[in-house]
């Protein structure tokens, strides 16, 4: 089984926060692939379905970000999921808005949700970082991360979420590079093609 986890905080007050883009991303995957409605399990909300014929569980821990590992560990233990079949999607302050980076294993870079997962479930899972951009000043970081996406942000957030839904087939293949490349292709700005001027007739 494949387990895809989105990180965020539960409750309506948090649902549009930049910190919750992980929740938004896994919902986009579930919606794109016709997963079941959400139900409560493993201290979280789960949706079940298949991607490229592979049974897949999507989990949004309802434990608050800093304790995400307890929910992930329960799901991993119950379904006996290998650590390399676990993908975690979350926000990244130090990536430009809309950029995506994927790697397997590595450090947690001060992200409390990742630290909790590494403590409870192991470290060699796949990490999908979704850039939310940096506000530029340290004093503004908390308000930025725990602030809602603005109307202007939706111009890149919505296409990014659509692309993640479409690119999830690469997650099923364990292909992090393919996942990144597919999203880059799907989200690149459409170039306007100017019509060619009419050719001059020769006398």
Determine phi and psi for 29, rounding to 5 degrees. -65, -50
Task: State the catalytic residue, choosing from 19, 33, 134, 144.
Answer: 19
Q: Is 79 a catalytic residue?
A: no
- Average pLDDT for the chain: 89
Q: Domains, the chain, ranges and CATH?
A: 2-187 (3.40.50.1470)
Predicted confidence (pLDDT) per residue in 172-187, tens digit: 999 999 999 999 999 9
Helix, coil or strand: residue 140: helix
CB 93 within 8 A of CB 19: no
pLDDT reported for residue 193:
47
**Predicted structure pTM score:** 0.89
What is the pLDDT confidence band of residue 78, given thresholds at 50, 70 and 90? very high
CB 30 within 8 A of CB 58: yes
Sheet with 126-131, strands from edge to edge, namely 39-41, 44-51, 54-61, 2-6, 86-92, 126-131, 100-104
Predicted confidence (pLDDT) per residue in 16-66, tens digit: 898 899 999 999 999 999 999 999 999 999 999 999 999 999 999 999 888
């Amino acid at each position: 089984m494949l387990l895809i986890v989105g990180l965020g905080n539960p409750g309506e007050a948090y649902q549009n926060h930049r910190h919750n883009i992980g929740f938004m991303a896994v919902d986009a995957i579930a919606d794109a692939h016709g997963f079941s409605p959400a139900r409560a399990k493993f201290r979280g909300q789960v949706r079940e379905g298949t991607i490229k014929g592979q049974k897949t569980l999507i989990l949004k821990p309802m434990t608050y970000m800093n304790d995400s590992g307890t929910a992930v560990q329960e799901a991993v233990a119950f379904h006996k999921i290998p650590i390399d079949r676990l993908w975690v999607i979350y926000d990244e302050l130090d990536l430009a808005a809309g950029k995506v980076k994927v790697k397997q294993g590595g450090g947690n870079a001060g992200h409390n949700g990742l630290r909790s997962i590494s403590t409870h479930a192991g470290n060699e899972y796949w990490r999908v970082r979704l850039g939310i951009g940096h506000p530029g000043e340290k004093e503004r970081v908390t308000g930025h991360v725990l602030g809602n996406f603005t109307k202007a942000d939706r111009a890149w957030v919505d296409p990014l979420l659509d692309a993640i839904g479409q690119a999830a087939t690469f997650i099923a293949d364990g292909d992090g590079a393919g996942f990144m490349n597919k999203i880059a292709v799907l989200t690149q700005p459409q170039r306007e093609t100017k019509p060619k001027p009419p050719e001059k007739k020769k006398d």
